[in-house]
Structure 1
């Protein structure tokens, strides 16, 4: 952001000059693109938008109005294509780049966007309580699978029908890893858990970001395990394996290890925040988000 010229104390400053100086500050903030999660839409992000524009006046905030509510359960690659069009339309006017702030399932959609779009100009990618390494366990949305328990959902999710439901495309059952890999699901492909012809290009595209910010916490109540928001996940004994010990990190299948080596991975942990409150909690915004939106 451009620095405001120094004003000497006691010297008269005209209203016009003040406006010009304010304009310099306003023009310095990059646009922020927000992608929502399951059952969400633009209305859920009015408070977050207010936080951004209050602290960074003049910032353009775009909450993409697409696949809202129940439509968020549609297949993820289909959603990626829709979000891609909106994203590209916004980025045409963001000559100095933009920031991508993505909540919950939106974090996976944004990861896919950053992988499949070449030469994008995204500076900070902020994943706000997203199941980046997958989901396994009870959530507040258990009504989606009324006939199933956590141990049995794999039978639905790892079927032809289940793979047409967004949440099933990142269901990562540690006890049925073979079924997860066999389905070649959205998450398996995105994480490079299965080899595919686009891996090299996707990795190159993802590495164009300048900063990856991972936000989550132990009282989330939806993302399970909550460490998935930091690329940690269960092993077959349901013990947490941290990001740096994940196979996808060690093999650097999508660029996470390089980002970390560059010093461009930031993690932020907050206790006492429930899943639906991450985007309306001012402390989370102030301590985990604000400084990356410049």
Structure 2
């Protein structure tokens, strides 16, 4: 949200860092829509289902990825790439690293990266009152993973993206089977996050239904079994990492020490 694939001071620098630390390993940074403008706009206005479909087609066309690849998703890109793993098992995703991903959604948008305060406030107000209206679901990316714990049934039936990939409305056995094909699913939580609310969503946790203060452990939720995360846990495929700092405020040293080794397997 609020970034593009290849800016030299953001994801472009991550791409370069991985290449340097892995002796020139091929790194493909997805550009949604084919140009920088559309890539930026996709973070707010291109429905995740369209983004996932686009990503699946581009990955399938890249012969260098035919034997498998490791994936890193930043912020909302974490759950979008998980959808790629669940919906498009070819080419096979081996490791999925989610940095600050909102796997159980968000209920609150305290800050909007790169947007003015007034625009951020307008988006937040819209989500609070109309997130599950069809036109909002169609037009605003953040609405598709807005998770209102006070209105669980409305979330399940009206969420046009997150409720589907979390098997919360209908059980798609293919989603469970495909996510279990991963060798590992690594979730990184930022302990002082001021953007993701609740920050525990980064570890696939969320509020206990009917309130917005207490967090429910993942293994007590329906999604844990319905998505096959219990099987991944039994096989040691779920990994939880944490780091100090605000949303995506990660040091080069921490990245190299904790994440680069996972990309070499």
Residue 138 (structure 1) aligned with residue 109 (structure 2): yes
In structure 1, list runs of 5 or more residues that go unmatched.
1-36
Separation (CA, whole Å) in 2 of partners of 1:242 and 1:225: 13
Cα distance change, pair 144–40 in 1 and its aligned pair in 2 (3 A): farther
Q: Deviation of residue 226 (structure 1)?
A: 0.9
Separation (CA, whole Å) in 2 of partners of 1:93 and 1:53: 15
Residue aligning to 2:164: 189
Separation (CA, whole Å) in 1 of partners of 2:90 and 2:18: 26
Q: CA RMSD in A?
A: 2.0
Residue 202 (structure 1) aligned with residue 191 (structure 2): no
Separation (CA, whole Å) in 1 of partners of 2:141 and 2:173: 25
- Aligned pairs (5 A) from 1:1-294: 37-43=1-7, 44-66=10-32, 67-73=38-44, 74-90=46-62, 92-141=63-112, 143-144=118-119, 146-147=121-122, 153-164=127-138, 165-196=140-171, 199-235=172-208, 236-237=210-211, 238-249=213-224, 252-271=225-244, 273-278=245-250, 281-294=251-264
Number of residue pairs matched by the alignment? 249
User: Max radius of gyration: which structure?
Assistant: 1
Q: Deviation of residue 290 (structure 1)?
A: 1.2
Q: Cα deviation per residue 1:244-286 (whole Å; 9 max; x = unaligned)?
A: 222211xx22221111110011110111x222433xx213312
Q: Deviation of residue 144 (structure 1)?
A: 4.5
Off by >6 Å, runs of 4+ in structure 1: none
In structure 2, list runs of 5 or more residues that go unmatched.
33-37
Verify the 8 A CA contact 1:115 1:202 in the aligned structure 2. yes
Q: Deviation of residue 77 (structure 1)?
A: 0.6
Q: TM-score, normalised by structure 1?
A: 0.78
